[in-house]
Amino acid sequence: MDGTLRRLARLRKAELHQHLDGSIPPRKTWALMRRHGLAPVRTFAEMKKLLALQPSEERSLLAYLDKFHYPLWITQFYENIREVTAAIVVDASRRGVRLLELRYSPVIHTFAGMTLRQSIRSVLSGMNLARAHHPIDVGLVVIAMRQHGPHIAKILARQAIAEAEHLHKRSGVVGFDIAGAEQGHPPRLFAEAYRIAAAGGLGLTAHAGEAASSDYVWQSVDDLGVRRIGHACSAVSDPALLRRLARDGILVECCITSNYQTGAVQRGSQHPIFRFLEAGIPVAVCTDNSTVSDTDQIRENRYLLEALGPEEIADLHRRAAEHSFIRRRRQFPPAEKERPKDKKRIHRAVLGLFGMTLTAALLASSAGLAAAPAVPAAPAEQPSQPPPGPAPPSTGPSASPPSGQGPAPGGQPSPLRRLPPELRGRGLSPAMSEREVPASEEEAEAKLRELLPLLRAASDRHETYALRFTCDETFRTVPYDWQKNEATSENVKRFAYLLAFDQDRSRYNVIRQTLTKEGKPGGEETLQVPCPDAYAWTFLFSPRNQRVLHYRYLGREIKDYRLTHVVEFESSAPFVEGQDTREWSGTVWIEDRTFNFVRIEAIPSFQERRLTGQWRVYTESFNLPWGKARPRPRGYELTVEFNYSRDGMLFPTRVDVREFVWVARGREVTDRRFVQEYTDYRFFQTTTEETQKAPRASP
């Protein structure tokens, strides 16, 4: 057991739900109280009792909330908040937390005269302080207290946006939340605040279903548009809601110890986290309040050991990290394609768990869930281009039914066969709502005709910007182990990235200057990569490309939390070295209204045909002592993400190229990956006005 605990301690963990006020290490609170002459008791032992929930105080949310009084005495001052924040981050880091979202209500820290802005910045300052010396990514979720009402919530949402992570170089606000007494404060009242937060690019979560019915969880999903829910304990009694959370990939932040203490979950009954896992809902294991609940990430994960092994727990954290609102994540490796053996292992674990613990009563209560359609077996080979949705054409943008697939008579009688969609591992991004496809070929063509000039204009805007920025580029080469199909090491290089004209001024060239460890530019360097330059993709619809590529309008869908048009592009040019966008075919997701690219997924043109041809050459080539004379067929898969927004435009932030080889006809293993990340964009000679009417960057 001790060995297992040590493993849990070492495991990279993602903490997505931890309150600042309830998590200050007691020694730190005690030291600050003594320093300022505020200590209400004489000894540290007595103080600890006031800060942590005692067994006699269990099963009441009010007694639980009462534990937050004493920390508030010291957290009304900038320096103190900075100090306690740093202490929490360091504490979490020592327990193996590599990604930490702290949450905090700025309003209740302004009683001594701090402004809301100072209140928020004091936390960020503490985060930056700790982050500089510890391997941890941190971000702040701003909480609006329900009892303060919807109007204060709106003010807080605006304040939160001003300090958003994506607007600043260092740690920032990453999300928005409501908390506090649930009953009598229905989530729908806060819809306007959430709309503001979403428009400002913040991640959305809400405390719901902790002390209220599942109706509040529904409201959070439908009216607030949250991507995550805190607690959601009451959702277990609502099969339709479970299906909805699973379908939309809405993560539940589970706080096991806290839920037993507040009475949200009865002692002796199984924690809902297992039902969520079984229903295919993404979950995170969270502490809520490490001091009040006298817990930490290691102890919380111990609860899972009865059903999951350390490997599965590690996987759970990796998946939770993908749902983090923190955008600049360094400590968790990028999402990787599902390994088939992993899927089997997790499936077995989930089945084993429910074989052990499901009682007849539980089965009866989940009859509604059992009526859900059985999840079709995942196709053996996922095509890299998603086929157009099978859904019938719909008329409005919100035409998808609220409860997903709906009842299916004759579905599997047992919910146990359902493998959680998050474990089925399809692409690199979470499954979202279905695609709304055009009613007819004619409608699709009309839509494309309407889009093309707008996309051409968007391409022009990017051209205006092409010579006016520089950014940091991190280039990772990650070799894979063929047998294990996992990364073995990585080689990281950092560059200052900028664009310049060619000598004849007909096209752009990329200039990469190596950066030293201290961030100083070194010499120029060229990269040998089998893909186009990241910025080149922004010209996908330039007139030059419109002549060569064939486009097809596939419909609209939500992608990376944005409403997008989906357009397929197909090249008739052969794949040579892959450096020209016209050597690729794929799918691009284009944001509605702004016509910015959100994401591109592509493969070399005629890849299948090329691999088949190479396979023939390979098998027919001479046998040499060490193998075949010709190399095995080699293919590529590419994704580009656009996540940095400036002046209404989105700039590329990440390119991920997977290189694979055919080991048998049609069967492939990953050989290498190339990941390019673009951060810290710095612009020169551009202002918002200039963008509106600037001529093209003149040669």
**Min CB(254)–Zn ion separation in Å:** 11
Structure token pair of residue 511: 């200039």
Q: How far apart are CA 347 and CA 327, in angstroms?
A: 30
Nearer to Zn ion, 16 or 245 (CB): 16
Of 187 and 635, nearer to Zn ion (C-beta) is 187
For residue 584, report the phi and psi dihedrals to the nearest 5 degrees. Answer: -125, 155
Nearer to Zn ion by Cβ, of 163 and 288: the residue is: 288
Return the range that interacts with Zn ion (CB under 5 A); candidates 283-291, 328-336, 453-461, 533-541.
283-291
- Compute the least distance from the CB of residue 570 to Zn ion, in Å: 49
Closer residue to Zn ion in complex, CB, 233/458: 233
Torsional sign, CA 372, 556, 538, 464: negative
Give least dist CB 262 to Zn ion, A. 10
Choice between 288 and 659, CB closer to Zn ion = 288
- How many Å apart are CA 498 and CA 303, to the nearest integer? 50
At its nearest, how many Å lie between Zn ion and the CB of residue 210?
A: 8
Distance CA 611, CA 694 (A): 45
Between the CA of residue 300 and those of 13, 297, 541, what are the distances in Å? 11, 5, 50
| Cβ-contact 158, 173 below 8 angstroms | no
Nearest CB to Zn ion, comparing residues 288 and 322? 288
Using the minimum distance from each CB to Zn ion, give the nearer residue, 180 or 427.
Answer: 180
Question: Is 292 or 496 the residue whose CB approaches Zn ion more closely?
Answer: 292
CB of 211 to Zn ion, least distance (A): 11
Q: How many CA atoms lie within 13 A of 356 on its CB side?
A: 11
Residue 669 C-beta: closest distance to Zn ion, Å: 43
In this complex, which beta carbon is closest to Zn ion, that of residue 288 or of residue 336? 288
CB of 294 to Zn ion, least distance (A): 16
Nearest-approach distance from CB 179 to Zn ion, in angstroms: 6
Distance in Å, CB of 288 to Zn ion, minimum: 5
User: Of 1-9, 167-175, 282-290, 562-570, which segment contacts Zn ion by CB under 5 A?
Assistant: 282-290
**How many angstroms from the chain centroid is the CA of residue 306?**
28
d(CA 433, CA 564): 12
Instruction: Tell me the closest approach of the beta carbon of residue 272 to Zn ion, in angstroms.
Output: 15
Q: Are 431 and 421 in contact (CB under 8 A)?
A: yes
Burial 410-420 (b: 16+ CB within 10 A, else e): ebeeebbebbb
630 and 618 Cβ atoms separated by less than 8 Å: yes
* Contact partners, residue 352, CB within 8 Å, separation at least 6: 307
Which CA distances in Å does 95 have to 177, 325, 607? Answer: 25, 21, 46
CA atoms of 425 and 430, how far apart (whole Å): 9
CB of residue 415 to Zn ion, shortest distance in Å: 28
Residue given tokens 């309040």 in the structure block:
289
- Please answer whether residues 208 and 162 qualify as being in contact, where contact means their C-beta atoms are separated by less than 8 angstroms: no
Check: CB of residue 567 under 8 Å from CB of residue 588.
Answer: yes
User: 251 or 358, CB closer to Zn ion?
Assistant: 251
Retrieve residue 550's tokens: 């064939």
Provide the minimum distance between the beta carbon of 430 and Zn ion in the complex, in angstroms, as a whole number. 23
User: Distance between CA atoms of 6 and 147, rounded to whole angstroms?
Assistant: 42
Instruction: Enumerate residues 544-563 that contact Zn ion by CB under 5 A.
Output: none
Convert residues 284-313 into a mask of x (bound to Zn ion by CB under 5 A) and - (unbound). ----x-------------------------
Q: Which is nearer to Zn ion, 228 or 461 (CB)?
A: 228
Contacts of 289 (CB under 8 A, 6+ apart): 18, 19, 21, 22, 23, 67, 258
Q: How far is the CB of 144 from Zn ion (least distance, A)?
A: 13
Q: Which is nearer to Zn ion, 89 or 308 (CB)?
A: 89
Classify strands 228-231 and 251-254 as parallel, antiparallel or unpaired.
parallel
# residues near Zn ion by CB under 5 A: 1
Q: How far is the CB of 681 from Zn ion (least distance, A)?
A: 34
CA distance 577 to 561: 33
Q: How far is the CB of 227 from Zn ion (least distance, A)?
A: 16
- 569 has which bridge partners? 551, 586
Among 346, 597, 598, residue whose Cα is nearest residue 455:
597
Region near Zn ion per CB under 5 A, out of 280-288, 302-310, 465-473, 634-642: 280-288
- Cβ of 505: how many Cβ atoms within 10 Å? 9
| CB nearer to Zn ion: pick between 288 and 533 | 288
Stretch that binds Zn ion, among 84-92, 281-289, 337-345, 608-616 (CB under 5 A): 281-289
> Which x/- pattern, by CB under 5 A, does the window 237-276 give for Zn ion?
----------------------------------------
Calculate helix-pair angle for 78-94, 116-131, nearest 10 degrees. 40
CB-closest chain residue to Zn ion: 288
User: What's the min distance (Å) between Cβ of 88 and Zn ion?
Assistant: 14
Question: Both tokens of residue 187?
Answer: 């989530």
* 14, 284 contact by CB (below 8 A): yes
Contacts of 130 (CB under 8 A, 6+ apart): 85, 86, 87, 89, 90, 93, 136, 138
Choice between 288 and 312, CB closer to Zn ion: 288
Nearer to Zn ion, 84 or 661 (CB): 84
DSSP state of 379: P
Taking the C-alpha atoms of residue 607 and residue 575, their distance in angstroms, rounded to an integer, is: 8
Report the residue number, 232 or 321, with the smaller CB distance to Zn ion: 232
Distance, in Å, from the CA atom of 109 to the CA atom of 4, rounded to the nearest integer, reads 40
Beta strands in 397-447 (DSSP E): none
Where on the chain is the footprint of Zn ion (CB under 5 A)?
288
